[in-house]
Amino acid sequence: VGKEAINTDIVTLTRFLTEEQFKHKEATGDFTLLCHALQFAFKSISYYIRRATLINLTGLAGASNATGDDQKKLDVIGNDLFISAMKSSGRVRVLVSEEEEEAIIFNEYPNARYAVACDPIDGSSNLDAGVSVGTIFAIYKLPEGAQGTKEDLLKPGTEMVASGFTMYGASAQLVITMKGGTVNGFTLDNSFGEFILTHPDMKIPKKRAIYSVNEGNSLYWEEPVKEYVNSLKYPDEGGKPYSARYIGSMVADAYRTLLYGGIFAYPADKKSPKGKLRILYECAPMAMVFENAGGLAVDSHMRRMLEVVPQHIHDRSGIFLGSEGEVQKVIDVHKKHG
C-alpha cells in the first residue's frame, strides 16, 4: 500500500546538470562544476537567512554599496558566501556583484572560462520582516582569447549562457534556464540537502489580471505608465479591474508572476530616469527566464530587455516583464504616445 506513491527516481539538480552535460557532446564539465558551486552558495545563503533572527544577523552592516543601498548584515554575508563559492569553483574568471563596487577578477584561475553577475540577496529591505528574498545570477562564457575584465560582462543579455534566481520563501525555490532552453524549477528538500526538480519546463500563462508595481512612485511616473496602470484599475464598462500584488522583492514578485501570469514592472520615472533595477544582475537574468518561459521583457523605451547593453557594471534600467499578453498592452500604450 502506498508503495507506488513514493518516487524513487528523483531528479536532483545534480542529476539534472549531469544529464544536461551529456546532451552537449562538446561539454567539458566546467559549466556543471560552476553550477555545483552556485548550488552550494544558494544552500548556504538560505541557511543563514533562516537562522538570521537567532544568530544576530538582522539589521544593517553600517555601509552602503555602489548603487547607494544601505547594506544589511546579510547582504554582506550573502555576498561573501557567493564570492567564495565562485572563486573555489575555479571556473569563474570575472565576478560582478551588487555589493562590490568593482568587478572581481580571480587571477588565481587565469584559464577559467566564465563570467558571473549576481545579486546575492535581492529584496534585502524585506529581510528583518521575514519576507521572501532570493539570489539572482547571470552566467556568461568568455570568448576565446578574452582577457578576463569587466568588459566581458558589458554585453547584451542575449550573450548569457544561463541565468536564474532563487527565492527563499516558505521553501527555497531555484529557477534556472540555459540559452535557448526551457525553464526549470527546483525545490530545496532540507532533509536531503538537495534541490529537487519540482517544476519542469515552466511556461508562463499567456495572460492574467495581476499587476505588480510600487504604486507609491506614481507621482513620478511618465504619462504612458500612468495611463497603462489606470487602464488596469479602471477598465471599460463591464470589465473587471486587475488585482494588485507587490512584495517588494523582485525575486518573489517575479516568481509569482512566472507561475500565475500577470506583469511585474519597475518603470523608469521622473525621479529615477534610468529606473531602479540593475541590468546585469536583476533585469537581464530575469528577462532571459521570462522569455524562455514564453513571456516578454522590455525596458522603459520598449526595447527588448535582453538587447540592452550596459555601459557600466551597475547600470540600471526600467523594466516590464511578464505574460506576453500583459506586456504587449504596455507596449501598445507606449506606441500610442509615440
Decide: is 96 part of the binding site for ligand AHG (CB under 6 A): no
Binding residue (CB under 6 A) for ligand AHG from 100, 119, 152, 326: 119
Q: Which does residue 326 bind out of Mn ion, ligand AHG, none, counting CB within 5 to 8 angstroms by kind?
A: none
CB of 57 to ligand AHG, least distance (A): 16
d(CA 284, CA 196): 25
Partner from Mn ion, ligand AHG, none contacting 90, C-beta within 5 to 8 A by type:
none
Cα–Cα dist 120/282, whole Å: 11
Partner whose footprint covers residue 229, from Mn ion, ligand AHG, none (CB < 5 to 8 Å by kind):
none
Binding mask 243-272 for ligand AHG (x = CB under 6 A): -----xxx---------------x------
Among 32, 69, 304, 331, binds Mn ion (CB under 5 A): 69
Per-residue binding letters, 42-71, with ligand AHG (x by CB under 6 A): ---------------------------x--
Least separation in angstroms between residue 269's CB and ligand AHG is: 11
Give the Cα separation of 218 and 216 in Å (integer): 6
Containing H/E element for 77? helix 73-89
User: Helix crossing, 30-51 with 13-23: angle to 10°?
Assistant: 160
Q: What are phi and psi of 74, to 5 degrees?
A: -75, -25
Where does residue 335 rank: exposed (0-12), middle (13-18), buried (19+ CB within 10 A)?
Answer: exposed
The site partner of 187 among ligand AHG, Mn ion, none (C-beta below 5 to 8 Å per kind) is none
Tell me if 100 contacts ligand AHG by CB under 6 A: no
With CB under 6 A as the contact rule, which of the stretches 87-95, 119-127, 160-168, 196-204 interacts with ligand AHG?
A: 119-127
| Dihedral angle of Cα 145, 151, 154, 157, to the nearest 10 degrees | 20
The residue range among 21-29, 120-128, 161-169, 193-201 that interacts with ligand AHG, by the rule CB under 6 A, is 120-128
Contact call for residue 98 and ligand AHG (CB under 6 A): yes
Q: Does 124 bind ligand AHG (CB under 6 A)?
A: yes
For 156, 163, 184, 277, the CA distances from 178, given in Å and listed in that order, are: 15, 7, 10, 22
Site for ligand AHG in 8-37 (CB under 6 A): none
Residue 227 dihedral angles phi and psi, to the nearest 5°:
-65, -40
- Residue 122 binding Mn ion, by CB under 5 A: yes
Q: Minimum CB separation from Mn ion for residue 117, in Å?
A: 12
- Alpha-carbon span 265 to 217, nearest angstrom: 12
Strand blocks (E) in the chain: 60-64, 70-72, 92-97, 104-105, 114-122, 133-141, 160-168, 172-178, 183-189, 194-199, 210-212, 243-244, 263-266, 296-298, 319-322
Cell of 188: 530545496
Cα 43 to Cα 36, 49, 171, distances in angstroms: 11, 10, 11
Instruction: Choose the one of Mn ion, ligand AHG, none that binds residue 32, judging by a C-beta under 5 to 8 angstroms depending on kind.
Output: none
* 305 within 8 A of 157, measured Cβ to Cβ: yes
Nearer to ligand AHG, 122 or 194 (CB): 122
Contact string (CB under 6 A) for ligand AHG, positions 188-217, x = contact: --------------------------x---
Q: Which residue in 122, 152, 291, 299 binds ligand AHG (CB under 6 A)?
A: 122
Out of ligand AHG, Mn ion, none, which partner does residue 214 contact, by CB within 5 to 8 A per kind? ligand AHG
Positions in the binding site for ligand AHG (CB under 6 A): 69, 98, 119, 122-125, 214, 248-250, 266, 276
Residues that bind Mn ion (CB under 5 A): 69, 98, 119, 121-122
